[in-house]
Amino acid sequence: MEDRLRRHVENLFEGTAPTRNTVDFKDELLQNLREKYADLIREGKSEDEAYHIVIAGIGDVTGLIRSLEDKEMNNINTETLEKQQQKSALLTAGAVMLYIISIVPGVILDAVGISVIPGVIFMFIAIATATGMLIYNTMTKPKYVRADDSMVEEFREWQNGRWEKSLRHR
């Protein structure tokens, strides 16, 4: 029965971007509905009755969810995104530059006729650095939306899992 309540709330949030505000609201709503449901059961209502009373009491939350989503979008569209794009462009340009420069010392040293070894070593270091920059760039970009909250959200996911398990044991 608790699952039914969760499923209903999940449906309300279907197609919603899982941003901090929307996830927080979903957790908050579900938690409060659960308490209401538990109280109704305690008052002697049947599971079906309690479920329908709780569902009927929610009202239309689509507007609220939409506004939470929009707020999140606006936050992202400010300076942070611009800075992020600038950083990303710099990293990519720098990496490409390193790839091109990497062979230059080797070519020069070879032309002059001294040992090629330092040139080769420089080339590998330059290539490794450039590759590292590119990987760093791609890894930091998609993560950044929930970066500051990832720990909290992971903890919450873990907590929910534990809670459900304890329910099943009952």
For other proteins, which stretch binds (CB under 8 A), given 62-70, 88-96, 108-116, 132-140? 62-70
Q: In terms of C-beta distances under 8 Å and separation of at least 24 residues, what long-range contacts does 17-21 make, across chains too?
A: 17/69, 17/72, 18/146, 19/68, 19/69, 19/72, 19/145, 19/146, 20/72, 20/146, 20/149, 21/68, 21/69, 21/71, 21/72
The tokens describing 66, both together, are: 């939409």
How far from the centroid of its chain's Cα atoms is residue 12's Cα? 20
Which residues between 100 and 159 bind other proteins (CB under 8 A)? 159
Quick check: 35 binds other proteins (CB under 8 A)?
A: yes
Q: Which residue lies nearer to other proteins by CB, 9 or 130? A: 9
Quick check: 34 binds other proteins (CB under 8 A)?
A: yes
Quick check: 17 binds other proteins (CB under 8 A)?
A: no
Quick check: 160 binds other proteins (CB under 8 A)?
A: yes
- Least distance between other proteins and beta carbon 34 (Å): 7
Quick check: 29 binds other proteins (CB under 8 A)?
A: yes
**CA distances from residue 64 to 61, 78, 106, 152, 169 in whole angstroms, order as listed:** 5, 22, 62, 23, 35
For other proteins, which stretch binds (CB under 8 A), given 21-29, 74-82, 108-116, 141-149? 21-29
Binding site for other proteins (CB under 8 A): 24-25, 27-36, 39, 57-61, 63-64, 67-68, 159-160, 163
